[in-house]
Structure 1
């Protein structure tokens, strides 16, 4: 009987084989684009995977060893004590000098009663002491609050109070800003430590001269009662998030090390590099990506107080720089400079950063002879980080479609008006197809060195950034608030900033914060702020639509109040005066419509004003044309 059944088995097996072949053919026909893309990008993907593996192994090493940033720095410093770690103007700081100052900071503040978990604000411009101070505080578990030195009045006071800062360390040139905060009732009883020359006295009489007090401090390794660990808080970085005043994003040692290790390996950096940064050290890019590679790998770093387009390449030549950081604004300013012999006389082999516009990318590379541009994407507080390592013009990073399980990022569909995720009938969020714009989200995995989301010091602010039950019950994803597009080859392209935040001059600006300032300055209830595109510039410029039914607004008073309360990048470049703003509850629909109309005075019947210096002037059609055609620069 069994022999009679054999033909049937053969027929069944052949049928299954044919069905499988047919199914594979159908799958290949449907997914042929993905197969083709996977083959085309295989060299890129293999290189990325090898670098990613090194990153993961290094992170596992520091995690298993319960390492901290201070421990890694100490290890490197003791191996090469005389190596120059930091360049600044005419100064050369060796590992040994940095080590001694960090220990002095730790011992002095511990002696003053500061302990693990306390917060101390650092309100300083770029200088070597900046890195030394927060690193020294971290050795005793004190959490530094890295405060934007452009902030003034209430936003600045808010930053000091949001994390209950028990002291403020500042460079004396910023004394006027602190005096203004005192005038509005802030800093009562808060110790102030001024960093000024040894032969000078602090401008604020009550401030403590930090340099003199440190002269007698011990420069030996501090003895701490509580062990400092890998998952402990390192410092706070303020970010606009999506709404309201600046929020203190929690940066743990683990997060900092992830950024430093990932930056070192994913960019293919070497230990003999000299990295150059003119980015502010209160930002994650300059402090974590640049400073992190210096402190954790012993790579030399050249710091500039503030960015200077005319001195950028001169500095690179002066310090033998091989790797430089950028943001889009820096690249735009550099390419706008007249040609110079310095343009190609440097040794820079790689530049990494974000915001280099695809329109100027090829010209930038050609003019300055930069072999490698590594555009990257990331958020200070987020877990969606990626990098473009193969010079793909315009891409902020990539993730092959077939590796989404390894790095679980997704682009999801969101409602354009409300910003809320769109869900299907089964309740799951909808994933975007190739070339379809959507919000970037990243899966949250607690205590994972890459996927964890630490949120803000204010837990209520953290909740709004988490998307729950996205694909299954109980899951959680970080919401980036950014709209990106992903092509068939896995490249991501930045499209827009979602919600109530826009980016201008390399800084995130909260529309709610600007609206609050306008209301406090002029007592106007109906004002909405949004970002508008300006041809030839990065990001979006601020614009405010203000209701003025009785024609009583004094733009000079408004300009003075805005200039005093807001840093230059947050001041609305354009003001639109309307009779009234239609009520929509949240203004979101109205903001969207105003944003689309922009500052085009050929289409907008309302009067539009342009900020020139510290005054608003009527925007004419001629001025509008000059802006659009690039004759008027910002």
Structure 2
């Protein structure tokens, strides 16, 4: 304010000089101020909602009163207004109540993307019942584990046959736990129809004396981690965090004229928080797709007149792999928002579908407390960590040794801030403003993710498990997951960076890079699992390509050809099992190729060669 007052009263030449100095030495300041103003406005709204103790149901009720006749949910050929979705949610609430569900009870939703999913969720929050969003891809032991840790009393299954198959596999276990199973659809010989029960209810608003006693900071849902390592964990997400998820859309200035395309699964936070809650608070329309399809994305966008697309990085890679058409730029999309968009896909997407499209890339995690937002639309980065934001935010990037899998510490045992352009471990200070969403179950699960006494006694920081880097322009970039970066021939290798290169090689459709152990060798050798466009691996072409584009230590020593990749529910490639199997031909049925430095090409790995690599007679 002092500077502003001085500028207003100063001569024009002085003002110009001061402004020139600011642009020269603090070029990030103007953008930061713009961002800070918008972000502080969002935080102010959140505090008002907290003071009023709102839950998700309250937000829909408020919007239905203001814009009740506006389209809210589009699905296939169905159209639901705000008023209609509220009425449906009221029915779901009463149906749950009729089955004895009370505030604090837990149910599970095992459904594909559909409007009923949203009505069940909102109706649950009116009653104070907490729904667990089950990943539709998990089966048997993992599915039962997810149900157990949420302490579910009632399970509602969607009408898809493969979901019934999954439930039938654990039918006896569910009966032992006295968990009632319903189908949201037509009644079957085994399961009663919950939708029939819903249809019998009145759609009037829920009276206050029948509302559940749930607060702004109480769990509004359980959302599970992807389970890329070990079994999934259930994260308790409050209405507070659900509303904070709307930040992305509001930063894009979304309003009633925007239609948000959400092909991502509602059982994950991107679709549930950013897509649904974001659209709800912005007063926008959300267009759901049952399941992501790269080949249908643009036809859907034209059908629904979409203006904003939600993505996970891999989905955009699949979209860019689709055949080019004359309709590629025939759309009304003004922005895409998501995370994990690698620079090569980012560039390809804009070149092909329109350079004017705003890319709102962000960094966040379901349970975490650190957020970066590429509000400024800077190519390739997650956001900024300018001197101003270092003061205002809670994130810190610490020096990390990938070889020992430990933080680098000073002589006093304290972690050290990473240098400019140096990948380091991202941590987030835990306090009232930047809280962590705990896991359901044993408190030790949450405690394992927290560092204590980082910079001083008594402080606590959330360990994201992610390696990030901040450059000289204060732009922040994602590097890798801890454990994915490996060391080979004295050099650190980023699996993400190598994957970005390999996937552009001759005949390669998809690539997943990881490090594998070789007896007698330090570190891990690079290995790439690939899916081919067609035919056989181009052994000579790939060898020449990696030699031209990667340093010797980063070139994959092994290439495993697969028909397809196993993906998490958020379309991330799983690599734990691939890493464990390595190049062991005794347990791997796929073809594996070895980078033969003598023959200067990739060659098919044989059992004899495998033995030679293990005993050191064949050089790697």
| TM-score, structure 2 as length reference | 0.76
Partner Cα distance (1:159, 1:574) in 2: 20
| 1:27-49: CA deviation from partner (whole Å, max 9, x where unpaired) | xxxxxxx9888522233222211
Cα gap change, 1:386 to 1:571, in 2 (>3 Å): closer
Cα gap change, 1:270 to 1:82, in 2 (>3 Å): closer
| 1:199-225: CA deviation from partner (whole Å, max 9, x where unpaired) | x432xx332201111121122222426
- Which of 299, 303, 316 is equivalent to 1:318? 303
Cα gap change, 1:309 to 1:226, in 2 (>3 Å): closer
Q: Which residue of 1 aligns with 2:109?
A: 122
Q: Which residue of 2 aligns with 1:250?
A: 236
- Which of 440, 457, 472 is equivalent to 2:440? 457
| 1:425-449: CA deviation from partner (whole Å, max 9, x where unpaired) | 2232111111111111111113x2x
> Contact between 1:242 and 1:481, CA under 8 Å: does it hold in 2?
no
Which runs of no fewer than 5 residues in structure 2 stay unpaired?
Answer: 1-20, 487-494, 504-508, 520-563, 605-620
> Contact between 2:255 and 2:283, CA under 8 Å: does it hold in 1?
no
Residue 359 of structure 1: how far off its partner (Å): 1.6
Q: Which residue of 1 aligns with 2:359?
A: 373
Residue 399 of structure 1: how far off its partner (Å): 2.1
| SS of residue paired to 1:192 | strand
Higher relative contact order (CA 8 A, sep 6+): 1
Task: Please say if 1:284 is aligned against 2:269.
Answer: yes
| 1:143-163: CA deviation from partner (whole Å, max 9, x where unpaired) | 110010000110111000011
Q: Which residue of 1 aligns with 2:468?
A: 484
> Contact between 1:544 and 1:572, CA under 8 Å: does it hold in 2?
no
Q: Which residue of 2 aligns with 1:161?
A: 148
Q: Which residue of 2 aligns with 1:344?
A: 329
Cα gap change, 1:546 to 1:72, in 2 (>3 Å): farther
Q: Which residue of 2 aligns with 1:474?
A: 458
Partner Cα distance (1:73, 1:263) in 2: 19
Counterpart mapping for 1:433-582 below 5 A: 433-446=419-432, 448=433, 451-458=434-441, 459-499=443-483, 534=499, 535-536=502-503, 540=512
Counterpart mapping for 1:167-206 below 5 A: 167-173=154-160, 174-182=163-171, 188-196=177-185, 200-202=186-188, 205-206=189-190
Which runs of no fewer than 5 residues in structure 1 stay unpaired?
Answer: 1-33, 503-529, 548-561, 577-590, 611-615, 628-634
| SS of residue paired to 2:344 | coil
Q: Which residue of 2 aligns with 1:229?
A: 215
> Contact between 1:375 and 1:388, CA under 8 Å: does it hold in 2?
yes
Cα gap change, 1:571 to 1:476, in 2 (>3 Å): closer
Task: Please say if 1:353 is aligned against 2:338.
Answer: yes
Cα gap change, 1:345 to 1:225, in 2 (>3 Å): closer
Partner Cα distance (2:330, 2:61) in 1: 35
Residue 497 of structure 1: how far off its partner (Å): 0.6
Q: Which residue of 2 aligns with 1:43?
A: 30
Q: Which residue of 2 aligns with 1:518?
A: none
Task: Please say if 1:405 is aligned against 2:391.
Answer: yes
> Contact between 2:72 and 2:82, CA under 8 Å: does it hold in 1?
yes
| SS of residue paired to 1:47 | helix
Partner Cα distance (1:245, 1:136) in 2: 29
Q: Which residue of 2 aligns with 1:11?
A: none
Partner Cα distance (1:179, 1:84) in 2: 37
Partner Cα distance (1:456, 1:40) in 2: 41
- Which of 260, 265, 277 is equivalent to 2:250? 265
| 1:35-87: CA deviation from partner (whole Å, max 9, x where unpaired) | 88852223322221122122111112212222222111111012222211011
Partner Cα distance (1:487, 1:423) in 2: 22
Partner Cα distance (1:305, 1:123) in 2: 13
> Contact between 1:322 and 1:348, CA under 8 Å: does it hold in 2?
yes
| 1:342-382: CA deviation from partner (whole Å, max 9, x where unpaired) | 31110000111111111232221121014211111100010
| SS of residue paired to 1:245 | coil
Q: Which residue of 1 aligns with 2:545?
A: none
Q: Which residue of 2 aligns with 1:618?
A: 591
| SS of residue paired to 2:400 | coil
The total of aligned residue pairs comes to: 515
Q: Which residue of 1 aligns with 2:81?
A: 94
- Which of 377, 388, 401 is equivalent to 1:391? 377
Partner Cα distance (1:438, 1:99) in 2: 46
Cα gap change, 1:72 to 1:538, in 2 (>3 Å): farther
Residue 267 of structure 1: how far off its partner (Å): 3.0
| SS of residue paired to 1:391 | coil
Cα gap change, 1:216 to 1:472, in 2 (>3 Å): same
